[in-house]
Structure 1
Amino acid sequence: MNKYLIPFLSILLIGCKGSKEDKTAYFGGKIINPKSDFVVLYNNDDVLDSIKLTEENTFTGKLEAIKAGLYYFKHGPEHQFVYLEPKDSLLLRLNTWDFDESLVFSGSHADRNNILIETFLQNEIDHRKFYKYYSLSAEKFKAKIDSTKTKKLKILEEYKMANEDASDDFLNILDIALTYPLYTKLENFVIDNSLKKSPEVLNNDFLTHRKIIDINKDSLMFFTPYRDYVYANLYSEVYQKKIKKDSDEFTISLLRDIDSKIHSPQLKNKILRRETIRHFYNKSSCQINKEAFNTFLSLSSNNEDKEIISKLLEDVKLVKSKHKIPSFTVMGANGSMEAIEKLIKGKKTVIYFRNKIHSSDDWVASRINYLINKNPDTQFLVININEEKNEFVKQLDIKHQYYLNQGSKAHSFLTSKFPRVILVNNKGIVENAFGALSSDKIEKQITDL
């Protein structure tokens, strides 16, 4: 690694010399087997810098007004976290074929970022190891958590001793990275237990972690260990009420709990929108329960979100199951305009209207290719709704891909710009007017066409 990074680091360090008041930070490195031309650095959900790769696949970003804190960078479909401070010169090296496992940092304060990625990788191992423990009694499961937590806290203390200048803010981030995945497992145990025919009665000690955790730190909701815990906590509370999973009553109860437990209006609105949409898509059906959506509309204070959800509800109504699919046109990769009736004539067809904002190329290719292989007698059409002819998925055969021309009548039932799946039988009759490619129900729905 050094032969790649030491000369590059020298350039950065020379560039950092100057006034003692200069707080400029530098973030750079080398990407092996790049997936795109850019590395994008984010502060929470806001783009801080978009850094173009050189011909040698290196990049250098100059950050002039950065504050000490947690950030994340994204390259291709994957991302990872970095902790940066003013005057830092931080470098990374990674191979996209093994993104997380190959990621190594060097330069100023590299140790703190290396321990974050090491913690992430260990959490992945722990996650797999704990699968078999969910069948244990609550007492034995808690003992497994406690013994693992002791090891995690030892890592934290050893880091403190070796890095006496480490800020309280970073130590808090490291503490969350080390321990919150364990608290998430406790909440998941509550969920699993509540689904049993004869749930075990949990004693008061099982959930003592709730007393020390604040689930209202909206500045940390982009950090996976923290976000995962918040959602696990919200869900476990609803599962304990013995409401049927994926029912409208479950959705309503969850939305009301979000409203009562999340205090930040911005964070509350974000979670309300996410869970309303998520539960609708999980059903993979055009059937609408107005009470669940009305609950969202009454609790959210974000007018833009309300408008989008209202558009989604109207979109659902405009294509009806057990009716012929509405007429509309699409554009092929060669620029030819095709009528949907001609493309689907006599064929069982899965039509996926795709918005690139909501799904990566890699995920779409993986999902569609899997479904194509599983259903060789069914036609699959992936239609880009953004009117962009150059946004085809490289890993997917071009014969399956189309985009909507500006005048296509399909825009009338895609006003929300959310993706949707329409399943059509070989007679051109819609069997499902609003399916979800991400739903676990979609496979059987396609098989039953």
Structure 2
Amino acid sequence: MKLHILGLLVILTLFNCKNDGNNSADNYAYFGGEIMNPNGDFVVLLKSDEVIDTIKLDNRNRFLYKINDLKEGLYTFYHGGEIQMVLLEPKDSLLFRLNTLEFDESLVFTGIGDKKNNYLMNEFLENEIQEKKIFKFCQLKPDTYERRVDSLKAFKLDKLNKFRSKYNPSPLFDKIAKANIDYSYFSSKEVYPFVHHGNNKGDIVKSLPKDFYDYRKSINYDDDFFKEHNHYNSFLRYSVNNFALEDHLQHSTDKEFKRNSLCYNIDRLKIVDSLIKNKNIKNDLLYHFTSIYLSKSNNPENNDAIVKSYLSISTDETGKTEIKRFATSLNNLKEGGNFPNIKIIDYKNAELEINSLINTATVICFWSNQYYNHFKESHYKLNELKEKYPEVKFIAINIDDFGQDKPKASLKENRFKFKDEYQFKNPKESIEALAIQPMTKTIVLDKNKKIVYSNTNIFSGNFEEQLLGAINRK
């Protein structure tokens, strides 16, 4: 691996020297790398949601790509369902190495532009760890909590200042790195009422110091530069949640706040409409909140109501089509209804219809190599349930669309048996028909192939109670 990377660096250096010698324009960058355990044979490079190119991996799972007429800023690269961002500036020659089994954790940059990108990547990973701390801190009283998150922000700023002193980064990097810290801090403030224990959110909101949200006065909720930025988008979502909560508490008659209530979720769409003016940001938030609500709902009438509200506000025709199809699929999976007879393939490459397998209470789960931790944890849980409920059939379906080699290897490497393991024959159509979102979605059927639960989760606290109900159905 080191020799491979070194070789690429030498090539990049020669290219750079040649370009400098010819006095060519400096407005370019090289981007490349090597992918271990690839989930496909290409990498997609994007800027501002527009595809720049689909880059083929060579027979060593490597690629090298020159971006001409570079627009400096954040770029997105996509491989096998995983997405990450890089900062590219003129004359960068950036290489990465990653293992898809630990996509973000294994990602390391070398070459010209590596310091700033490794800094941003490490900050991203550290922020994921700190989010868990924030959730624990949220149980503290507001003033104590505020001191804790202020301390975390000060630590990050000190780290950034040391990086500035050592490497003298560009103003663009400085703008992005500072925004990471600020929006992460603002998010920790916005999330507090939701994570703090207790369902009486009105009392929690009233307990906050008067200046707790003073930073809102300086926020640009239509920042086109940061519209694809992870920290900014997370902040916007938390902010909308909070503004909607404050509005909802003014008219709700519920004794306890229910985040999955139809009323609150429609309030949330209204807040997006009133708060956000940028068309792209608004449409993305509307789509996000509507799809999240639908993915957790089992009520067709409420689904129709939230879709109606979404369609009346959104101007994204593609998003509208996708939401309508998603809602239709969910509503077709009515409890008590027949399960669709989807075609599947076993790992001996035999094709069959899924309903031919169902003659007892059945649990159907889904997994993907793109969510590797979920794949492992869900299979450990399924093995535990199989031991406990031998009268139940447990079916696991891989939803990926890149052949059988990768999922077979994943099962074999983790010593999971191939029994009751399948793939969809037509993944795209099947995923849509079964409305598989999120990946934790689980479907429970009775012995008559009737849907008992169309949208549950094997990790939920009441799942075994639900399973017993399916077993005892006549």
> Which amino acid is 2:319 matched to?
D
Gaps of at least 5 residues in structure 2 are 250-256, 412-417
Match of 2:317 among 298, 303, 315: 303
Aligned to 1:229: 235
1:373 paired to 2:391:
no
With over 3 angstroms needed to count, the CA separation of the structure-2 counterparts of 1:267 and 1:5, relative to structure 1, is: same
Match of 1:362 among 336, 350, 372: 372
Aligned to 2:264: 250
> Which amino acid is 1:369 matched to?
H
Structure 1 residues 178-229: Cα deviation after superposition (integer angstroms, max 9, x where no partner): 2321211111113234845442522232112222222222453432211111
Aligned to 1:178: 181
How far residue 325 of structure 1 moved from its aligned partner, in angstroms, is: 3.9
Match of 1:414 among 433, 448, 464: 433
The more displaced of 138-147 and 284-293 is: 284-293
Q: 1:62-81 to 2 correspondence within 5 Å?
A: 62-76=66-80, 78-81=82-85
Q: 1:5-44 to 2 correspondence within 5 Å?
A: 5-16=5-16, 17-18=18-19, 19-22=22-25, 23-32=27-36, 34=38, 36-44=40-48
> Which amino acid is 1:373 matched to?
N
Secondary structure in 1 matching 2:138: helix
Match of 1:127 among 127, 131, 136: 131
Q: 1:67-106 to 2 correspondence within 5 Å?
A: 67-76=71-80, 78-96=82-100, 98-106=102-110
Q: For 1:115 and 1:404, locate their aligned partners in 2 and report how far apart those are by CA, in whole Å.
A: 42
Secondary structure in 2 matching 1:27: strand
**TM-score with structure 2 setting the length:** 0.79
Aligned to 1:209: 215
Q: 1:375-390 to 2 correspondence within 5 Å?
A: 375-376=385-386, 377=390, 378-381=392-395
Partners of 1:392 and 1:398 within 8 A in 2: no
Partners of 1:39 and 1:53 within 8 A in 2: yes
With over 3 angstroms needed to count, the CA separation of the structure-2 counterparts of 1:331 and 1:87, relative to structure 1, is: same
Partners of 1:28 and 1:91 within 8 A in 2: yes
Q: For 2:350 and 2:7, locate their aligned partners in 1 and report how far apart those are by CA, in whole Å.
A: 51
Aligned to 2:226: 220
Aligned to 1:426: 447
With over 3 angstroms needed to count, the CA separation of the structure-2 counterparts of 1:417 and 1:324, relative to structure 1, is: closer
Q: For 2:177 and 2:118, locate their aligned partners in 1 and report how far apart those are by CA, in whole Å.
A: 11
Structure 1 residues 76-101: Cα deviation after superposition (integer angstroms, max 9, x where no partner): 45443211012211123345555444
Partners of 2:399 and 2:423 within 8 A in 1: no
How far residue 165 of structure 1 moved from its aligned partner, in angstroms, is: 6.0
How far residue 140 of structure 1 moved from its aligned partner, in angstroms, is: 1.6
How far residue 139 of structure 1 moved from its aligned partner, in angstroms, is: 1.3
Q: For 2:230 and 2:40, locate their aligned partners in 1 and report how far apart those are by CA, in whole Å.
A: 23
Match of 1:322 among 327, 331, 336: 336
With over 3 angstroms needed to count, the CA separation of the structure-2 counterparts of 1:143 and 1:388, relative to structure 1, is: closer
With over 3 angstroms needed to count, the CA separation of the structure-2 counterparts of 1:149 and 1:294, relative to structure 1, is: same
Structure 1 residues 20-41: Cα deviation after superposition (integer angstroms, max 9, x where no partner): 3333311123445555444433
With over 3 angstroms needed to count, the CA separation of the structure-2 counterparts of 1:385 and 1:286, relative to structure 1, is: farther
Q: For 2:455 and 2:114, locate their aligned partners in 1 and report how far apart those are by CA, in whole Å.
A: 46
RMSD of Structure 2 on Structure 1 (CA) = 3.7
Q: For 2:23 and 2:85, locate their aligned partners in 1 and report how far apart those are by CA, in whole Å.
A: 28
Q: For 2:74 and 2:191, locate their aligned partners in 1 and report how far apart those are by CA, in whole Å.
A: 26
**TM-score with structure 1 setting the length:** 0.82
Q: For 1:2 and 1:56, locate their aligned partners in 2 and report how far apart those are by CA, in whole Å.
A: 14
Partners of 1:365 and 1:393 within 8 A in 2: no
Partners of 2:297 and 2:303 within 8 A in 1: no
Partners of 2:365 and 2:397 within 8 A in 1: yes
Aligned to 2:421: 400
Partners of 1:389 and 1:403 within 8 A in 2: no
Gaps of at least 5 residues in structure 1 are none
Aligned to 1:59: 63
> Which amino acid is 1:400 matched to?
E
The more displaced of 420-429 and 115-124 is: 420-429
Partners of 1:315 and 1:415 within 8 A in 2: yes
How far residue 235 of structure 1 moved from its aligned partner, in angstroms, is: 0.9
Partners of 1:375 and 1:447 within 8 A in 2: no
With over 3 angstroms needed to count, the CA separation of the structure-2 counterparts of 1:413 and 1:177, relative to structure 1, is: closer
Q: For 2:350 and 2:404, locate their aligned partners in 1 and report how far apart those are by CA, in whole Å.
A: 14
The more displaced of 267-276 and 285-294 is: 285-294
Aligned to 1:349: 362
Secondary structure in 1 matching 2:296: helix
> Which amino acid is 2:297 matched to?
K
Structure 1 residues 90-114: Cα deviation after superposition (integer angstroms, max 9, x where no partner): 1233455554444333322322112
How far residue 3 of structure 1 moved from its aligned partner, in angstroms, is: 5.4
